[in-house]
Structure 1
Amino acid sequence: MIVAAWTISAGTVMPAAADTDPRGYLTKMKAQEMWKVADGTGITVAVIDSGVKDVPGLEGRVLPGVSFMEPPLEHPDKPYPPHDDFDGHGTTMTAAIVGDGSSGGPQRLAPGAKVIPIRTSVGTPMAFATGGEAAKGVRYAADNGARIINLSIGDWYSLDKIRPAVQYAQSKGLLVFVAMGNNEEEGNNATNPIAMLTGVLGVGAVDENGSPMPLSSYGQDTDLSAMGGKILRRCKDNTAWCVGDGGTSYATALASASAALVWSAHPDWTANQVARVLIQTAGAPVDGSKRTDRVGYGVVRPRIALLDRAGDPGAPDVDPLAAPAPVKAPTPSADQTAAPRAETAAAKSGFSWQWPALGAVVAVSLGVGITVLIKRRRR
């Protein structure tokens, strides 16, 4: 089982001075210039998470949604509406994609996009049910107008449910992003098994300087990276905005928003074509590698696709992770380049990613179907 959550103590309640501007990544990404080309209009992102609280800045940007939370046995009739959020995690992901920045919240990367909130048991005592609920959410998203699925969560135990749900969504033309996972202890590199699924884009996190974050899980299933350093997130029982590390959860939301921008500019493209162009235009590792396990093909740079009109969408029905289209390697970017480096400091902040040791042992002993879940890699 994995549950996306966070360490509240690491945040500083707004409005407090921060060493860096928590919205500064928008300037580096040239968001204002990109929005003149495409702003995400016409694209709906399904955020399968802890729900979304109706906070200022989200009005008119969040669709009705659905909740798949299972009620506790002692309260079988208790409703859990999608527009509520005990944890604040889903609210933060939603705001990163479509929030207008009011009341101290994040300013969105894809202002014209819409979000379908799909609520699961993330952040509750019923979190063990998250995987099965998420699988239902994936199918709901596929049947209700979403083009992108954002999974800043994961689950060891429910891959038998999640895998066919993801395949169903992909058969309907959806693009799926998943967080690689956050580790709070040095040397503990447990990665999200959902990232192994064919066609799913695993997202790692880099800091404000474009360097891999120590807390970001990594491996052969890392495909892209995005900013996960100092950002604005919900804290204090989802009653305030704080400055803190966003980790791979937030990075995944930015990757989803980046895809929304590119897809908005090219609505006739398929999910494979959007993914391929994101891969081709990513800020490649500065050591000259095509990809690394730390950052994948690099940090998402939708501005290269939108402003420079770079990237070859290639074949509409070919998975770019199985066969990336040949194209001139993107040049490293000073403002958004991830350089692989040795990480020595233990990660002590960010959205924690709970991987119970027992779960890892059980997953290994049972195999969790990994031999049939491994992506068709690009090596």
Structure 2
Amino acid sequence: MIVAAWTVSAGTVIPAAADTDPQRYLTKMKAPEMWKVADGTGITVAVVDSGFREVPGVPGESVLPGVSVMSPPMEQPDKKYPAHDDLDGHGTTMTAAIVGDGTGGAPKGLAPGAKVMPVRTSLGTLQEFAAGHEGAKGIRYAADNGAKIINLSWGDDLAYEVVKSAVQYAQSKGALVFAAMGNDGDSNNNGSMLTMIPGVIGVGAVDDDGGVLALSSHGPDTDLSAPGGKVPIRCTDNKGWCVGDGGTSYASALASASAALVWSAHPNWTANQVARVLIQTAGGPRDGAKRNDYVGYGVARPRVVLLDRQGDPGAPDTDPLAPAPVKAPTPSAGQTAAAPHPAASADAESRNFPWQWPALGAVVAAGLGIGTTVLVKRRRS
């Protein structure tokens, strides 16, 4: 199943006064002060989504030509789709959250100096069953055409392996990938399988007061969180601006924009270093833990990096989410390691099968379109 991670239908039309009222989260994040240090200039964010429609509130110069990777219908194999079109408004909303100008009811983008590269898939159309494979193609395109950050505000459990391969390719090109956790509001399926891909930053959503947004899916792959409740979104069928829950889709776009701000200020950093400082400087969980499954390491706070100059970028080639290496115990002097008993080896092998088969079964089931609960998740340090 492929789902866009938001709830646009619940929106209400924005009053005209909103043109001059910045979103509350921008004020809390001290965005105007941050923009004096960095506004995302020099950074391209690929929004692999439902496309982009030119609408009031999103400057055309902030959006690159992009590409459409939509598959043509069988009866029209030569049909072409423009990247600058969007039937349901999801991709347009994500774009505005990053580079909008705040007029006409649109949000003011968190990284207004960045450029968005729209990559249009079949999300929001009757052909959206193909969006996962299309998205994989779009991720590769974005990586090959200068995108430093790739935003995936949708979930997929049909083309996981294909998308994973594309993400790994993008990472090899130096890109940083963010994915929405999903809006099921529970941890039964850990939200989107895309957040399980090593190195991908899984993003949950918080409400206007910084509490966990009720619809935000959660689990061990939640890494960061950002605002997603009661925000400007495109109304149903991409007609006008409404206020509604953008959910983890919107939160993922804001996390991507946060990374754009940090990277704009530190253009020589790698994706790992940008991710590391965002994790280090996040506003931690309210329960006092280092991280939890609801908000990850906390709400993204790029101001702490830009204004307070905190955060250690660390090693450029080390994934900050990778498990710490475990050292094997050193035998005491005079001791030698005994060869394992054949029965013990057989027992160890038999214990491995229950973990291998469900993982394989999940892939097979996803390929057949069968809903499944994934049992093997990315391990944390």
Compute the TM-score of the two structures, normalised by the length of structure 2. 0.84
Correspondence for 2:83: 82
Partner in structure 1 of residue 332 of structure 2: none
Shift of 1:361: 8.1
- Flag the structure with more relative contact order, 1 or 2, with Cα contacts below 8 A and sequence separation at least 6: 1
- Aligned equivalents of 2:65, 2:8: Cα separation in 1: 28
Percent of paired sites with the same residue: 69
Q: For the structure 1 residues 306 and 168, does the alpha-carbon distance in structure 2 shift closer, same or farther, using more than 3 Å as the test?
A: same
How far is the alpha carbon of 1:362 from its aligned partner? 2.5
Q: Distance in 2 between matches of 1:192 and 1:266?
A: 30
Q: What is the rounded CA distance, in whole Å, between the counterparts of 1:202 and 1:6 in structure 2?
A: 15
Determine whether 1:375 maps to 2:375.
no
Give the superposition deviation at 1:104. 1.2
CA distance in 1 between counterparts of 2:236 and 2:168 reads 37
CA distance in 2, matches of 1:122, 1:81: 14
1:5-16 correspondence runs (5 A): 6-15=6-15
C-alpha displacement of 1:82: 0.5
Uncovered stretches (5+) of structure 1, i.e. residues with no partner: 325-357
Match of 2:169 in 1: 168
- Give 1:194 deviation, angstroms: 0.7
Structure 2: how far apart are the matches of 1:187 and 1:94?
A: 28
Q: Is the 8 A contact 2:6 2:247 kept in 1?
A: no
Distance in 1, Cα, partners of 2:9 & 2:145 = 37
Which residue of 1 is the match for residue 262 of structure 2? 262
- Compared CA separation, residues 110 and 101, structure 1 to 2 (3 A): same
Q: Which amino acid is 1:37 matched to?
A: V
TM-superposition CA deviations, 1:11-56 (whole Å, max 9, x none): 11122789xx771110000000000111000000000000000112
Distance in 1, matches of 2:165 and 2:9, equals: 38
Q: Check whether the contact 1:134–1:162 (CA below 8 A) recurs between aligned residues.
A: yes
Once the two structures are superposed, residues 180-215 of structure 1 have per-residue CA deviations (whole angstroms, 9 ceiling, x without a partner) of: 00127x786551001001100000000001011110
AA partner of residue 199 (structure 2)? G
- Residue identity in the other structure for 2:289: S
Q: Which residue of 1 is the match for residue 277 of structure 2?
A: 277
Q: Which amino acid aligns with 1:133?
A: E
Shift of 1:376: 4.2
Q: In the alignment, what sits opposite 1:335?
A: none
Corresponding residue number in structure 1 for 2:183: 182
Displacement of 1:120:
0.3
The alignment partner of 1:118 has SS state of: strand
Letter in 1 for 2:232: L
- Residue identity in the other structure for 1:224: L
Structure 2 gaps, min length 5 = 325-364
Partner of 2:241: 241
Q: Tell me if 1:317 matches 2:317.
A: yes
| 1:308 alignment partner in structure 2 | 308
Matched ranges for 1:56-135 at <5 A: 56=56, 57-135=58-136
What's the offset of the Cα at 1:216?
Answer: 0.3
Structure 1 residues 5 and 217 mapped into 2: Cα distance closer, same or farther (>3 Å)? closer
Contact 1:11–1:243 (8 Å) recurs in 2: yes
User: More deviation in 44-53 or 158-167?
Assistant: 158-167
1:200-239 equivalences under 5 Å are 200-239=200-239
2:341 aligns with none
The answer (yes or no) to whether the contact 1:198–1:376 under 8 Å persists in 2 is: no
Structure with the greater alpha carbon radius of gyration: 2
CA–CA distance in structure 2, aligned partners of residues 171 and 190 of structure 1: 26
Cα distance change on mapping 1:192 and 1:5 into 2, 3 Å: closer
User: How far apart, CA to CA, are the structure 2 residues paired with 1:22 and 1:59?
Assistant: 20
User: 1:5/1:167 Cα in 2 relative to 1: closer, same or farther (>3 Å)?
Assistant: closer
Distance 2:80 2:86 in 1: 13
State whether residues 7 and 247 of structure 2, in contact with CA within 8 Å, keep that contact through their aligned partners in structure 1. Answer: no
Distance 1:363 1:167, change over 3 A: farther
TM-score relative to the length of structure 1: 0.84
Question: What's the C-alpha RMSD, in Å, of the aligned pairs?
Answer: 2.1
Whether the aligned pair in 2 keeps the contact of 1:62 and 1:115 (CA below 8 Å) is yes
Is the contact made by 1:5 and 1:123 (CA closer than 8 Å) also made in structure 2? no
Secondary structure (helix, strand or coil) at the match of 1:272 reads helix
3-state SS in 2 of match to 1:140? helix
- Measured in 1, the distance between the counterparts of 2:46 and 2:141 equals 9
How far apart are residue 7 of structure 1 and its match? 4.1
Q: Match of 1:152?
A: 153
For residues 41 and 126 of structure 1, do their structure 2 counterparts lie closer, same or farther at Cα, with a shift above 3 Å needed? same
1:9 deviates by 3.8
CA–CA separation in structure 1 for the residues paired with 2:164 and 2:188: 25
- In structure 1, what is the equivalent of residue 346 of structure 2? none
Q: Take 2:211 and 2:187, find their aligned partners in 1: how far apart are those partners?
A: 18
**Deviation larger for 234-243 or 172-181:** 234-243
CA deviation string 1:109-163 (max 9, x = no partner): 0011000000001011101001000000110011000000000012101012111
Partner of 1:364, secondary structure, is coil
User: Superposition pairs for residues 45-56 of structure 1, below 5 Å?
Assistant: 45-56=45-56
Instruction: Measure the CA separation in 1 of the matches of 2:138 and 2:253.
Output: 17
C-alpha separation in 2, matches of 1:137 and 1:49? 9
Determine the structure 2 residue equivalent to 1:298.
298
Deviations 1:47-100 (CA, angstroms, capped at 9, x unpaired): 000000011222200000000111222333332111000010000000000011
Please name the residue that 2:370 is paired with.
362
- With 291-300 and 67-76 compared, the bigger mean Cα shift is at 67-76
What is residue 356 of structure 2 aligned with on the other side? none
Distance 2:9 2:141 in 1: 35
Quote how far apart the aligned CAs of 1:287 are: 1.8
* Alignment coverage as a number of residue pairs: 337
Q: Deviations over 1:356-376 (max 9, x none)?
A: xx96983538x7xx75xx434
